[in-house]
Amino acid sequence: MEYALADHQYGKAETRLVRVYRDTDQHQIRDLNVSTTLRGDFADAYSRGDQAKVLPTDSQKNTAYAFALEHGVPDIETYALTLAMHFADEIEPVHAARVEVDEYAWDRVQLSGGDHPHAFVRAGQEVRTTTATVIGRGTEQRVWVLSGLRDLVLLKSTGSEFAGFLRDRYTTLAETHDRVLATSLTSRWRHAGPDADWNAVNASIRQILIERFSTVHSLALQQSLWEMGKAVLAAHDEVAEIRLSAPNKHHFLVDLTAFGLDNRGEVFHADDRPYGLIQCAVQREDAPAAGPAWDTPGSFAG
Amino acid sequence: MEYALADHQYGKAETRLVRVYRDTDQHQIRDLNVSTTLRGDFADAYSRGDQAKVLPTDSQKNTAYAFALEHGVPDIETYALTLAMHFADEIEPVHAARVEVDEYAWDRVQLSGGDHPHAFVRAGQEVRTTTATVIGRGTEQRVWVLSGLRDLVLLKSTGSEFAGFLRDRYTTLAETHDRVLATSLTSRWRHAGPDADWNAVNASIRQILIERFSTVHSLALQQSLWEMGKAVLAAHDEVAEIRLSAPNKHHFLVDLTAFGLDNRGEVFHADDRPYGLIQCAVQREDAPAAGPAWDTPGSFAG
Amino acid sequence: MEYALADHQYGKAETRLVRVYRDTDQHQIRDLNVSTTLRGDFADAYSRGDQAKVLPTDSQKNTAYAFALEHGVPDIETYALTLAMHFADEIEPVHAARVEVDEYAWDRVQLSGGDHPHAFVRAGQEVRTTTATVIGRGTEQRVWVLSGLRDLVLLKSTGSEFAGFLRDRYTTLAETHDRVLATSLTSRWRHAGPDADWNAVNASIRQILIERFSTVHSLALQQSLWEMGKAVLAAHDEVAEIRLSAPNKHHFLVDLTAFGLDNRGEVFHADDRPYGLIQCAVQREDAPAAGPAWDTPGSFAG
Amino acid sequence: MEYALADHQYGKAETRLVRVYRDTDQHQIRDLNVSTTLRGDFADAYSRGDQAKVLPTDSQKNTAYAFALEHGVPDIETYALTLAMHFADEIEPVHAARVEVDEYAWDRVQLSGGDHPHAFVRAGQEVRTTTATVIGRGTEQRVWVLSGLRDLVLLKSTGSEFAGFLRDRYTTLAETHDRVLATSLTSRWRHAGPDADWNAVNASIRQILIERFSTVHSLALQQSLWEMGKAVLAAHDEVAEIRLSAPNKHHFLVDLTAFGLDNRGEVFHADDRPYGLIQCAVQREDAPAAGPAWDTPGSFAG
């Protein structure tokens, strides 16, 4: 035969699930978006439409709900790992399972008398993420866990330069020693192993990212990212690698001289597009191999 | 002539403007989306393409930037009023000017040593809004100010019922005495006059809305909204009217009995669409007339 | 009592419904987004949480589905009217019902041998819209029907000027006698009566709007809109009024002189924001009153 | 040193560019979204903030505009390749350049007398895509070209089954031998070489994808995708590999039996989330290596 099924995977994407803990009057909630992806012995579904080895995506959704009740969601990493291991261990044709979970944060409502026990307000647009990948079963089983965040929007109103750059025929940009630097950060980090105090580690990393973005005097967004990534690895031995993807959300100083006004870094146009896009990976030199950890469904077709 | 130009208005929408205050090392920022709309003697532009009385929307944008420098943005209400009055006072063909401003909130970055002086993190998806409408000039001039918020996402994990409702041929809904109640609130309130301590009043109203949503034992979202609106009017004499528009973001209890699991209000499916949409206006009985305060460009063509 | 429930309405928004006609091998589909809104004797739900007169939004959704089967969807206007009349006629506390329907267009798949009988491809991003409003019942009943479209994206690469405009202190815009004119048109038109050959009338109006946008040599987007609206009324006696809302999607000529290039209207930057926003209503001089036709839930809270 | 800059790239994303051809009265337009990404000797920008080798993203944007004038846009593949080769050839520190282009389609406005010469209407939501990757320069230079489309929304109202699937503890799905099958297809294909009649080849592939989706009696979306991919390779020797990513946009039959109605495949609820996600790659057995063709910035941080 001339054509090969070179690669394939399938799953249920974006199951929107809220888990409420109501064991005491002080409720807790976990607000999740769960996507499951299976790889394995599914070629017959493609070549012949034979579903005998295909676990319906509807069953995957049901499992996501049932596990949220049975096993709970102490943190999204544990939940994702438990769910991925289930598919890898229990569903015979599955060779590898990946579970991606986004979590939306909620704050407790604050009243004059303190926390409200069961009312919550969405904390922001920022999303906490995880991806758990499990390959094989039994003693052969291998596991990778990514944690991360996206849409963490940061801005410095000074302390950022951009100068001394390469110039070609098409370069017209003026150098600047004081600009607004703003980004909507996406970052994921790969854990060295499958166990950690996930909530604590991730909260610490988030704070380090914000702190380094803020305090590094930036000669380039590239430099800020490198310092942010390095600081995370320095503080957390359990992190093998961190990747950062940062749009440079341009804030252009508005020229008001035609109106007799001297705009010294006070009024900016926040532009939508285009934007710079700066990306880097910082890795511990003795990091274990990444394997398939970064091969998400979102990147399958480029 | 058989056809009339029954209504018309024009302006510049969504000028994205960031104002930085850098008078001291402790910077402040105001992140705005500004839309200006003019009404007046512009019929010739429609009927004959004659622009002689038309102030370009580009000039309106320039004015928005220039005013952010010259007059600053102590709060969006003052900024919007100043800008709207300028158009009404200074541009001869203008009979009425409306300025709508959205503001995106930023928090200062918190470090172990305290606030960072010039680094900020976006506070959330919630947007603060205002609309200032100015009609006429001189002693004839009349002014309306709305303040508001949108995308304030709230959730109660208990303390909400829905029962005793009207039933018709198409009713299959089960009654419930314990459900999740969630909404993404849009609210605007109309001030009785053009002066107030805007930042303080609006912060107080936001807290009242959250507090009442949380503490009212809800027999219907309708009831929650009424109690929220009433409490705002009770606390703020300077508010003449408040309108609330609240999607009922359904959280459906997932039936897990097929898997031998008893889901007692712990696992929900957060559905996207459809959603209930509940709306009400609560008004002080002696409120001044609303005039054109609510006639925004967004509602022009239905 | 000091505070009044000045206004209120509720309903089910965005019920996503696909109706398949499969009476012959040549299937037809109607892909709809249905929103229902009821006004009436619902004050007790607000003031006391008493639902006795409240038809659940869930029942409204069920009715939308059931009517799509029972009564079908020959066109969205007939469907919306039928549904709105049902609520006004059959649900005792309802004083007024409004049904808004968006329709997404699909084309039949074309094969070498002709139309495929049951495969379809989405025709575009443009949306056809209707709003049917019914007040009262029996001989007192009054009805309004709007039809419309939104997201009809049009562009002229020449034949558009903007010059001779009013100048103030903040005007820096250069005049132009040849520019790109582009918009994403929203238009709604109000029918004089409740009966028409809806599909044919609306298709004709859509074509007139496109034709006039294209062929009018534009001295201003205002002028184009007026000519478009006038032409619709001239061709369709059954239309009482048309409203047009048109963003001026700016295409800025890119200055390439620094690179020794002469850009004579060939390369443009398509900007996102800000944009001009031009709006007008053209009305037949003997048009019947609009009543509540334009008061949609989307404009309730400004 | 303990930490390595394991990977990095940067560029300018989403430059929105419209190219008008106006050599004759019959204008043509190309409406593009251009993103450029450079890899190379940029480590110093990260480690020390030294920009000496960094070509500003602003210059990349200028180049995109200038090339649209100088070299034109006969098709997006040629444009992307020319631009990528420029960066790889002319900018010394660049080791590899990638240019991604999205194209939005426009139809000429049709009037009774035929085509309008310079008025256009957006053809749909579907986007045509390309990615050109160039590594090295001179005789060492290697090139990959992907073409594709996304948001091609397809629906079959019959001719689709889903049965005989694997069942586990969490399976509740009923088998069906007649369902609605709908997707919003993303597909990219990798060309065997850097030359082709791009517009013709891509139009042919698009038609094949639609035709096979329509005519294959589907036992699973997997099977449809495989048949679609295979047919493309069978018809186009110049295509080495095709990848397809297809959400299964669920259309649930609405149960209307409670209202005495028998819904035989006529009324469906079109659900938003969750959705199945089916992906596969079909490759010619003698396909050249994919190299970095699929490593897009969108997949950098997972």
Of A170, A259, A272, Cβ closest to residue C259:
A170
Answer yes or no: is D195 within a domain: yes
pLDDT band at B61 (very low <50, low <70, confident <90, very high): very high
Residues in D touching A242 (Cβ below 8 Å): none
Residue D2 covered by a domain: no
Which residues of chain A have a CB within 8 Å of the CB of D174?
A: none
At A18-46, the pLDDT tens digits run 999 999 999 999 999 999 999 999 999 99
Whether residues C162 and C120 share a domain: the answer is: no
Query: Would A282 be classed as within a structural domain?
Result: yes
Which of B10, B18, B248, B250 to substitute to test the interface with C, most C CBs within 10 Å? B10
Say which residue the tokens 């080895």 belong to: A53
- Tell if the CB–CB gap between B170 and C63 is shorter than 8 Å: yes
**Both tokens of residue A164?**
């001394």
Of D16, D157, D269, the CB nearest to C27: D157
CB < 8 Å to D275, chain B:
none
| Record: contact D214-C154, CB cut-off 8 A | no
For B63-117, how does the pLDDT look when each residue is reduced to its tens digit (9 = 90+)?
Answer: 999 999 999 999 999 999 999 999 999 999 999 999 999 999 999 999 998 999 9
With an 8 Å Cβ cutoff, are B301 and C42 in contact?
no
Cβ within 8 Å of residue D265, ≥6 positions away = C20, C22, D157, D158, D178, D180, D253
Q: Which of B18, B226, B272 to mutate to test the interface with C (most CBs of C within 10 A)?
A: B226
pLDDT band at A1 (very low <50, low <70, confident <90, very high): low
- How many angstroms separate the CA of residue D266 from the nearest CA in chain A? 22
A176-193 pLDDT per residue, tens = 999 999 999 999 999 999
Q: What is the pLDDT of residue D218?
A: 98
Question: Is A207 a domain residue?
Answer: yes
Instruction: Tell me which residue has tokens 């420098």.
Output: B69
Enumerate residues 120 to 159 of chain D having a beta carbon within 8 A of any beta carbon in chain C.
Answer: 120-126, 152-159
The sign of the dihedral angle between the CA atoms of B285, B291, B295, B296 is: negative
Task: Give the count of beta carbons closer than 10 Å to the beta carbon of residue B190.
Answer: 25
Active site residues of A: 12, 57, 250
In a domain, C146, yes or no: no
Q: What is the pLDDT of residue B124?
A: 85
pLDDT, residue C288, reads 94
- Round to whole Å and give the CA distance between C11 and C60: 7
Residue A113 belongs to a domain: yes
Out of C169, C172, C273, name the one closest to residue A272 (CB).
C273
Residue B174 contacts by C-beta under 8 Å, 6 or more apart in sequence?
A: none
pLDDT of residue B1: 54
CA distance A79 to chain B (A): 14
Residue pairs spanning B and C at CB distance below 8 A: 316
Q: 3-state DSSP call for residue D84?
A: helix
All residues of chain A having their beta carbon less than 8 Å from the beta carbon of residue B124 are: 122-125
- Residues B157, B286, single domain; the answer is yes
Give the per-residue pLDDT at B134: 98
- Facing D273 at nearest CB: one of B169, B172, B272: B272
**Per-residue pLDDT tens digits for D240-251:** 999 999 999 999
Chain B interface includes A220 (CB < 8 A): no
State mean pLDDT over A275-302.
92
Query: What local confidence, expressed as pLDDT, does residue B299 receive?
Result: 82
Q: What is the pLDDT of residues C239-296, one digit of tens each?
A: 999 999 999 999 999 999 999 999 999 999 999 999 999 999 999 999 999 999 998 8
Residues D7-65 pLDDT 10s: 999 999 999 999 999 999 999 999 999 999 999 999 999 999 999 999 999 999 999 99
C300 and C157 part of one domain: yes
Subunit contact A273:D15, Cβ cutoff 8 A: yes
The answer on pLDDT for D79 being more than 70 is yes
Last residue of a domain, one of C82, C116, C140: C140
C158 in the same domain as C293: yes
Q: Which residue of C has its CA nearest to D181?
A: C119
Q: What does the pLDDT read at residue A298?
A: 83
CA angle centred on B123, ends B122 and B128, rounded to 5°: 105
Which phi and psi angles does A184 have, rounded to 5°? -120, 95
pLDDT band at D301 (very low <50, low <70, confident <90, very high): confident
A interface test, pick of C252, C259, C268 with most A CB neighbours within 10 Å: C259
- Whether the predicted pLDDT of B296 surpasses 90: no
pLDDT in tens, A117-150: 999 999 989 999 999 999 999 999 999 999 999 9
Q: Same structural domain for residues C302 and C155?
A: yes
Interface of B with C in 195-214 (CB under 8 A): none
pLDDT for position B301: 85
Does residue D118 share a domain with residue D250?
Answer: no
Is the domain of A191 the same as that of A120? no
Nearest to C10 among B45, B279, B296 (CB): B279
pLDDT at residue number B86: 98
Nearest to D214 among C66, C119, C211 (CB): C119
Give Cβ neighbours of residue D294 (< 8 Å, ≥ 6 apart): A299, A302, D146, D188, D190, D243
Contact D157 C251 (CB under 8 A): no
Q: Indicate whether D291 belongs to any domain.
A: yes
B87 and B203: one domain? no
How far is it, in rounded angstroms, from Cα D73 to Cα D128? 14
A152/B69 Cβ within 8 A: no
pLDDT digits (tens, 9 = 90+) for C16-67: 999 999 999 999 999 999 999 999 999 999 999 999 999 999 999 999 999 9
Q: What is the pLDDT of residues A149-167, one digit of tens each?
A: 999 999 999 999 999 999 9
How far apart are the C-alpha atoms of C258 and C256, rounded to whole Å?
A: 5
What sign results for the dihedral spanned by CA atoms B60, B66, B70, B72?
Answer: positive
Cα(C251)–Cα(A257) distance, integer angstroms: 24
pLDDT in tens, A39-89: 999 999 999 999 999 999 999 999 999 999 999 999 999 999 999 999 999
Q: Residue C1 has what pLDDT?
A: 54
Does residue D71 have an active-site annotation?
A: no
Catalytic residue, candidates D156, D191, D236, D250? D250
The reply to whether D1 touches chain A by the CB within 8 Å rule is yes
C279/B301 Cβ within 8 A: yes
**Which among A103, A120, A140 is the end of a domain?**
A140
Answer whether residue B3 is part of any domain: no
Same domain flag for B31 and B54? yes
Selecting from A22, A156, A270 the residue whose C-beta is nearest the C-beta of B265 gives A22
Q: What share of chain D is helix, strand, coil (3-state, %, to 5)?
A: 25, 45, 30
**Which structural domain range is residue A73 located in?**
1-140
Count of C-beta atoms within a 10 Å radius of residue B209: 24
Contact call for residues D96 and D5 (beta carbons, < 8 A): no
Final residue of a structural domain among B106, B140, B174: B140
Q: Are residues B290 and B156 both part of a single domain?
A: yes
B168 CB within 8 Å of a chain C CB: yes
Q: Is A91 part of the contact surface with chain D (CB cutoff 8 Å)? A: yes
Say whether pLDDT at D1 is over 70.
no
Across D208-228, average pLDDT: 98
| Residue A25 forms contact with B (CB below 8 Å) | no
- CATH number of the domain where residue A165 is located: 3.10.270.10
Pick from C56, C47, C144: nearest CA to C97: C144
Partner-chain residue, chosen from B3, B14, B162, that has the shortest CB–CB distance to C284: B3
User: pLDDT (tens digit, 9 = 90+) per residue, C258-271?
Assistant: 999 999 999 999 99
| Domain tally, chain D | 2
The pLDDT confidence band at residue A265, using thresholds 50, 70 and 90, is: very high
Q: Does A110 touch chain D (CB under 8 A)?
A: no
Find all residues with CB under 8 Å of D78, minimum gap 6, and list them. Answer: D198
> Which of B53, B57, B95, B230 is flagged as catalytic?
B57
Whether residue C174 lies within 8 A of chain A, CB to CB, comes out as no
Model confidence at A10, in pLDDT bands (50, 70, 90)?
very high
Phi/psi of residue C80, nearest 5 degrees: -65, -40
The mean pLDDT of chain D is 97
Contact B6 C219 (CB under 8 A): no
Distance CA D3, CA A205 (A): 16
Question: Of residues C61, C191, C249, C250, which has the active-site annotation?
Answer: C250
Q: Residue C190: is its pLDDT beyond 60? A: yes
Strands A267-270 and A239-248: unpaired
Contact assignment for B270 to A124 by CB distance below 8 Å: no
One domain for residues C72 and C176: no
Same domain, D108 and D178: no
Q: Which chains touch B (3 or more CB pairs under 8 A)?
A: A, C, D
Chains near A with 3+ CB pairs less than 8 A apart are B, C, D
Q: In this prediction, what percent of chain D has a pLDDT beyond 90?
A: 96
pLDDT band at A259 (very low <50, low <70, confident <90, very high): very high
Q: Name the nearest CA neighbour of A79 among A92, A69, A91.
A: A69
* Interface size, chain C vs chain D, as Cβ–Cβ contacts under 8 Å: 184
Of the pLDDT bands very low, low, confident and very high (cuts 50, 70, 90), residue B62 is very high
- pLDDT tier at D298, thresholds 50, 70, 90: confident
C109 touches chain D (CB under 8 A): yes
